[in-house]
Amino acid sequence: MAIVIRMPEVLAGAVEAVLSQWMMQEGSEVSVGDTLAEIETEKANVDYQAEEQGRLARVLVGPGDTVEVGAPIAVFAAPGDTDDDIDAALAAAGIGQASGGSEPSAAAPADEPAEAPTVDPQETPKGAPAEPSPAQSGPVPPVPGGRIYASPLVRKRAREAGIDLSQVTGTGPGGRIVKKDLDAVAASGTAAQGTSAPAHSAVAAPTVPAAAMVSGDAEYTDRPHSGMRKAIARRLTESKTTVPHFYVSADCRVEKLLAARTEMNEATGVKISVNDWVIKAVAKAMLDVPDANVIWREDALRYFNRVDIAIAVSVEGGLLTPVLRGVEAMGLTEINSQVNSLASKAREGRITQAEIEGGSFSISNLGMYGTDAFQAILNPPQSGILAVGAARDAAVVEQGSLVAGKIMTVNLSADHRAVDGALAAEWMKAFRHYIEHPLALLA
């Protein structure tokens, strides 16, 4: 029996994703666990592994297409299935597709009827050049009056942006118009609606990214949100409005830590950062106060047996939080190596979804920018995030006398559903101990 394969929710809360490329060709036999396609989310690329076994009979979306979560992307056929069986499966999923065709056709949203393909009202005369086949590859220039290959989602976005698809050159298979083609048109400001829409028309005016505008005496520039920026905005708004934050602060003396770091770097030749020491101190404090190594779930508190810590990494257009796993068993040099590797992958766009998921705790360090102190927003479902400021000169009291010292201010943001105030204070006391007695981190 033919089975319709749908776009998975590879990122929690995501409503759409880009199918970057198919890893299997039509007609290939697919086993459970085989990598079927590569999917691009707002933050990372994900290998989508087949959950069903069968023959990849039809591909319904092309490389580069943006597809809503739950929309059909392919059809698997069982031995003995015919084109009629495949068409029946598509019809049951609400998709009409000609027998034997391979043109992608994603399902339209439930509240929006599927749009018929744009075709010339006149029949193509005999002897006229045939329209491009979806199997062809490479950019295909638009043909006046010719058929437009685009998914309903691309058509919807084009309408919202006021882009005339008949003027867009598709770079997908067979000249199919994909999301990146719309982005290129929007960036250049071309291929807008050829005629101005009437006042009652629902077609939006063209939106040109990064266009300088003038309002009164003020000039400004609008830059459309990237997918990553939208994801950050959505998740942090959800965190701040649904998770009860509370904060615990501490000023840590770091003269001993800085001296130990200098000595260790000279002895090993490895440039261990202050942040590496902080990561190790967080893991040690979790071992001392295991009740803090927890996340809130609706049915229970989940306690972890190892310490997985997410590290905030600044990347172009936003930030990512790759996760170090099993930090309690790592030495400082291994922590340094792992952090550098994950940070490089994040900045180069090579990070995978699996590498940014999980963990019960995050660290955000702005000390290298000279920030003295700040408070961070929790990264759900994690229950804690430590905001680390710069080590700075300060007057401190020792045995009743003022002396010069080095202070580093840290702020813990905690989820009060999972961590109470006394527990957070106990954890902070343990963390401060390790920062102020760095040799204990080498044990």
CATH number, domain containing residue 81? 2.40.50.100
51, 187: one domain: no
- Residue 68: inside a domain: yes
pTM score of the predicted model:
0.62
182, 248: one domain: no
320, 235: one domain: yes
318, 414: one domain: yes
CATH number, domain containing residue 173? 4.10.320.10
CA angle 354, 347, 441 (to 5 degrees): 70
- Residue 207: inside a domain: no
State yes or no: is 200 an active-site residue. no
Parent domain of 161: 145-194
* Arithmetic mean of pLDDT, 211-228: 73
- Residue 357: inside a domain: yes
pLDDT band at 158 (very low <50, low <70, confident <90, very high): confident
Digit-coded pLDDT (tens) for 49-75: 888 888 898 898 888 888 888 888 899
Asked whether the beta carbons of 185 and 168 are under 8 A apart, the reply is: yes
Give how many domains the chain has, as a whole number: 3
pLDDT at 34 over 90: no
Digit-coded pLDDT (tens) for 142-154: 555 556 766 556 6
Q: Would you call the peptide bond into 244 cis, given omega within 30 degrees of 0 as the criterion?
A: no
- Residue 104: inside a domain: no
164, 48: one domain: no
CA angle 390, 275, 375 (to 5 degrees): 55
CATH number, domain containing residue 250? 3.30.559.10
248, 173: one domain: no
88, 153: one domain: no
Name the active-site residue from 245, 416, 433, 437: 416
User: Which residues, other chains included, contact 336 with Cβ-Cβ below 8 Å and sequence gap of 6+?
Assistant: 270, 271, 272, 273, 276
175, 303: one domain: no
Q: What is the DSSP letter of 327?
A: G
Q: What is the pLDDT of residue 43?
A: 66
* Arithmetic mean of pLDDT, 88-96: 77
149, 87: one domain: no
175, 240: one domain: no
- Residue 242: inside a domain: yes
pLDDT at 131 over 60: no
61, 179: one domain: no
pLDDT at 23 over 50: yes
40, 171: one domain: no
- Residue 344: inside a domain: yes
